[in-house]
Chain A
Amino acid sequence: MYDVKKIREQFPMLNGKIMQGHPLVYLDNASTTLKPQCVIDAINNYLCNETANSHRGDYDLLFNMDMKVLETRKVVAKLVNSEPNEVVFTSGDTMSLNLIAMSYGFQFLKKDDEIIVSEAEHASNLLPWYEISHLTGAVIKFIPLDKEGRLTVENLQKVITKKTKIVSIAQVSNVLGNVVDVKSFAKVAHENGAVLVVDGAQSVPHMPIDFKDSDIDFLTFSSHKMCGPTGVGCLVGKYELLKQMWPYFVGGGMNVSFNKNIEMVPYEPPMRFEAGTLNLEGICGFKAAVEFLLEIGIENIHKHDQELCDYAISKLEKCDDIVIYNKNSRNGIIAFNKKGVFAQDEATLLNSKGIAIRSGQHCAKILNDFLGTPATCRMSTYLYTTKEDIDAFVDALINGGDILDAYFN
């Protein structure tokens, strides 16, 4: 039995936080998520009781921190079904994608090779490829979206060729919430000799992912979108690929040896990619967050997101002046506009009622050309969202009054 009330009790921000005179209704979970007490306690415990570096087990505190980092690799591996030594810690999804581009991409791309992305991608899964395209002369191609803004295997097949070396797509679009069949994408990519990079920022927190079974090559995600702290995230990569990759970030903690002949021998993965001191309080919080999600069950969270999405869509569909851009995506993200109202103005009105949603291009600037609007509003749910939150949101949207009320009431 999914007890949303009991879940909410664990989030300080959902118990007493007031915004513009109203209890916070938080519907911006695609942007970042609120933190449960267990995550806050884990970070606090690192700062109060466990402070130490990792990498050198000379005394108890250091040894314990090394163990904590290893345990975190294990729980993350459990979450996505990979091996623990396939889990590389980064500062988050963006750094993970940059790392793949700068390490794997720089090493294996040459002039006129192809990198395939989609029109729906977030800047974090486009701009690293733009950079590597400039550096290597590789060409970027876009998978066209179907009428509903989805990425299909058929459309991948239309653009992929034997020159394609990398296919990089988000499993769930951060604007439209559509889910990509990554297992089929991996099959097509591999048939053409390419690797598949999956940006899991919006999928890993919300739905079960099986890294091994889906046969994807790289998977990236951030802790802060799954109840963990900001500044930490993961690159999960097939070990045989990680082994072939030369580290992009270098420094302490990632090498076996170096000498005056300008030579360096890196550690084996994953540590060769983790130069410098890791975000250790972040890793402690991340571990607590993943354990928290595993306890509730990702499948249950996924069902909860879908139920709320169906509920919200059924209410919004009754309103003539609301345009919904992704009626069928059912994945915790609804992109919409109120007819005749600029997206930012609607977000400001909702803010005045204590409701947090995002407006704008959501870092997916190419997608707005497809949608035919300069900006959209986006509401997004998570494990603690209730039907009451949706009711408050829809009520404010429909009966919230004039957009200038926010300034004059």
Chain B
Amino acid sequence: MLTLTNDMMRSIIMDHYSNPLNKHQPTSDKFTQIHMHSDNCIDDLNIFLLIENDVVTDACFDGVACTISTASTDIMCDLLKGKKTDEAKNIIKQYDNMIHEQPFDEEVLEEAIVFINTSKQAARIRCATIGWNAADAILKGK
């Protein structure tokens, strides 16, 4: 399990915001896409997942987004890549529990733990979950 100080968590968020490696167009037309926009922030994102043989083999996103939504979606893409769809769904479930201050499994969240304080700024919960809700919808075939 990672033990992170506040400073480390801050630098992880800023790093994923300033240099989001998963923020790009999908590399093929086989990706499933969902468009999400927020009703309380400017966030306007497209999320792309490539699912092959029940495994998330690739994930990326593009659009306009604030610090929290950009960093949280970028970290999510890293986490989901290579996971079986059931594992991916569980990671999203655990993340959602963390954001809403419910008991959650830290082990599976890895870097995504940096968003543990989101509930301090309740107006930004939507930003921290917008990409995750999109991926969840794709995984559940909604």
A interface residues (Cβ-Cβ under 8 A, vs B):
342-345, 348, 351-352, 359-361, 374-375, 402-404, 406-408
Contact = CB atoms under 8 A, between A and B. Distances in A.
Interface residues of B, number: 20
Contacts of A404: 10, 13-14, 67
Contacts of A344: 41-43, 66, 124, 127
A68 B28 CA distance: 67
Given A348-B121, A351-B123, A360 B10 contact: no
B138 interface: no
A301 B23 CA distance: 48
Given A342-B67, A406-B121, A361 B14 contact: no
A351 B13 CA distance: 19
B108 interface: no
Q: What DSSP secondary structure best describes chain B's contact surface? A: helix
Given A404-B10, A408-B9, A360 B118 contact: no
Contacts of B14: 404
Contacts of B64: 374
A345 B66 contact: yes
Nearest to A342: B66
Contacts of A375: 42
A351 B123 CA distance: 9
A345 B117 contact: no
B3 interface: no
Contacts of B66: 342-345
B140 interface: no
29 contacts: A342-B65, A342-B66, A342-B67, A343-B42, A343-B66, A344-B41, A344-B42, A344-B66, A344-B127, A345-B68, A348-B68, A348-B121, A348-B123, A348-B124, A351-B121, A352-B121, A360-B42, A374-B42, A374-B64, A375-B42, A404-B10, A404-B13, A404-B14, A404-B67, A406-B121, A407-B117, A407-B120, A407-B121, A408-B117
Nearest to B65: A342
A325 to B, nearest CB: 16
A343 B6 CA distance: 23
Contacts of B41: 344, 360
A9 to B, nearest CB: 29
Contacts of B124: 344, 348
A277 B118 CA distance: 43
Nearest to B67: A345
